[in-house]
Amino acid sequence: MAATLFPAADPRAPIPFVSADALAAHLLRQRPGLRLNWLRQTGTRGDGPDFPVLAVFALKPADARAFIDDPTGGADMPWRFQDCWLGFVAGPIAADPSGLEAALQRIRSAGGLAA
């Protein structure tokens, strides 16, 4: 299994994906026309060990630089990007997000949302 998405709408109902391409296509369909950005973080379930996760956000292209500079939005706009949050991704892809980058490129090259 490539990854599991814990969607922002219902993190208690994880969605497993068998490939990075399937995950990338799903994320692109969530908010068409927006840019996907993520933050590398760690998560835990119960008393288990920490594991890598990606907090995935769908941003307007004009907001991407501000997000990279300060994901919280700064003191003037605390948690400015919270409405852009799509959820957490866990699994091997969270440990090495270059796989997600490559999958996004493949999906976009194959026709984006139609793929």
pTM: 0.83
Q: Are 44 and 50 in contact (CB under 8 A)?
A: yes
- Residue 87 in this model has a pLDDT that exceeds 90: yes
The chain-wide mean pLDDT, for the chain, equals 87
Q: How would residue 33 be classed by pLDDT, with cut points 50, 70 and 90?
A: confident
**46: its two tokens:** 């119960």
Q: How would residue 77 be classed by pLDDT, with cut points 50, 70 and 90?
A: low
Angle at 79 between CA 93 and CA 71, to 5 degrees: 45
Q: How would residue 70 be classed by pLDDT, with cut points 50, 70 and 90?
A: confident
